[in-house]
Structure 1
Amino acid sequence: MKPFLPVTGILLVGLSTSIVAADLELEAPGIAVPILVSLPDNHDPAKSWPAVFSYHGFNGRPNTRSTRAHTGARDWIVVGMSYTQPGKYHLEPEDIAAELKAFRHIRDELARTQGLDLKRVYASGYSKGGWMTDTLLQAEPGFAGGAILMGGHIPSPLSKPPPISKDTEVFIGIGRWDPNYIPSLKALVHYRGLGLTTSFEAWPELGHDFPSEGSPGLREWFTLQNGGKPDDAALEKEVGEILKLPPAEAWIALADFKERPFCNIEASEWPDKISAAQKDLEKDPQVAREAQIRSSHRQLLGREVKMRTLEDLRRIDAGYMKLSAISEGSPQAKDIVHDHRRILAVLKQANATEVPRPKPSPITPAPPKDDRNIPGNPLVR
């Protein structure tokens, strides 16, 4: 498989200062720069069209290019949105209300003039825009779905957030070494916990960047949202290329492949086919070892997503020390080392900020242990 490559000029993640050409420029209340609208090649305003509102990254400008590259040239209206709050992202209820006002203004204008289908409105965002997408999904019940890219999940600050429809579908894409990787896993746990169909794609050895060749999973996700079907011939070819890799690498690639949106539609045969191929590869003891390493690693990540106390953190650190020892020489070792370093950094910060407890006097019992919060832990929101 071709590796994911980082973007060389940051346009795809929305950090460019240039404005991408669009078919329409609209104004929204509270936003100083024009909103850009890219209409599909087959556009007819008398017909009904799905639309995706694409939010750029920190210090960026509205653009439609990267999202359009994933929807394809036809069928979708792509809106390059911006923010009422440029720069640092605030999550106070009044800030969310201002963003919703701007979004609804553009949505309703396009529904009135360009055939936007109010039942097929999606949000998508890169970096800061990924966090924005998470916020919108929790604050606006009318979205059919959202793509959280290079971002993650923060619980809504609204006192009474509206319920999310079970039909809402979510895609999460993140660099495997992105600092937002754990928050993105929290998004996965949150939306799947609500019963929503949620796809997850991690881009190997990539930090806070978007793949220069784009996201295969995101293209598939947009295809499925518009009623398209998987290209089984292309999937067969891709699996064939994977199986040419060394057995251990092939097993790992198949595990990631099985997460793709095309492999997880209702009644799909792909999960069973991939599982069968993996079991065949696991007859090799080296591959069986890789399967065990992956399972142990996923358990540690799951514990990290849910950790709440300093003791939790120390136990995860101990787990990584054991896993690092047994995974030496594994293709998965780089990710394990990276994740352990993240835990060590958080542990160092937590230990530095922990308030020392007074020593018990010889005639009084020791005070009860209270590890409920990890001071300064950036993973606990």
Structure 2
Amino acid sequence: ESYTRTAPFENEPWHLPDGRSIKVISAPASSAGGVIYVFEDITERLKLESTNKAFSNVQRETINALSEAVAVFGTNGRLTLSNPRLSALWKLPMQALGQNPHIDQIAEASGRAMPEDGASIWRDLKRGIIDLNPTRSDQTGRINRSDGRLLDYAITRLPDGQTMMTFLDVTEGASYSRVLKERNDALVAADLLKDAFVENVSYELRSPLTNIIGFADLLAGTEGDTLNERQTAYIEYIRASSVTLGVLIDNILDLASVDAGIAELNPEPLSVQMLIDKARAGLSASFPEVSGNSTNLVVEIEPNLPEFIADGTRIVQVLYNLLSNAARFSPPGGEIRLSVSHRADRMLFIIEDEGPGLTDELRSAILTRLDTPSAGGRLRGAG
């Protein structure tokens, strides 16, 4: 066939067993006859073409798999590369995007798909596409579309002069962040309101409570047989409840001080016996059954205990709370045991009672700020 042709002809490449590929071109030698064959080794070119094709396919699949919408524009303002996410986000047909439309055509199509602001958004973005200033910087921003979608966009200049634009739909994330912020603001406001309420109520309760305690003490100290046995018992319960309420108010104020960051400790040398005497006095005032031997308080102090440095008011407060809680849960005639010993550089206080103990559920909740287990309790203490 080569001898019968009158014009040069490129034959199918020859793929040799050694892996080389040869391009063969045949052409008539002259009018007198004959054929000229030109052989070219195209092995490396085919390898480069294959590598480039594979790279392009990987690039295409990668761009198509991105969650961002991607659009690459040439220096002439025409779309050279895009992914399906761009089509879905802006309601543009993939077929139209595949025809390398100009950015003005994209703006018109977006205006038809989203009449409210589709065209105006793309006209604003056009400035970043057609700006050929070599010193221009990349741009980022957020688009608030009329349909409620929030889009973060970025315009990046590529090394070959083209411009890449990406869009990321952040509507759900922004809504979630806004809800979290609103919830956090509400919690902060509620916490401040709670603290103000607690502090105000606590101070407002002090004055009437002082009056109650004063009049109860006055009635209890009445001479003669003015009060009968039942009335005397009632007065004692009023006094005990008033003492307990006073302790609770002090605890609430302490809690408010801790939350406000103004709580202070006053360390000083302390005697164990003095602390126990104060805690016992408070307990007897709140729980007459302890002083009346209905509940037996046994105190065991290790001999020759040294003084130790701590805030005496806080230690007495803790001891009172724990002892009152033990008294509350102790059965009639039960025993509360307080033992104190010295371990290395620490003073160890152990309080035991014969109450029902704590369930696993209560054990995990007992250290919360305002938890008060009530199962099995006879009287409400401050612990």
TM-score (norm 2): 0.22
Give the structure with higher Rg (CA). Answer: 2
Compare the two structures and name the one with the higher strand fraction.
2
Q: Whose helix fraction is larger, Structure 1's or Structure 2's? A: 2
Higher relative contact order (CA 8 A, sep 6+): 1
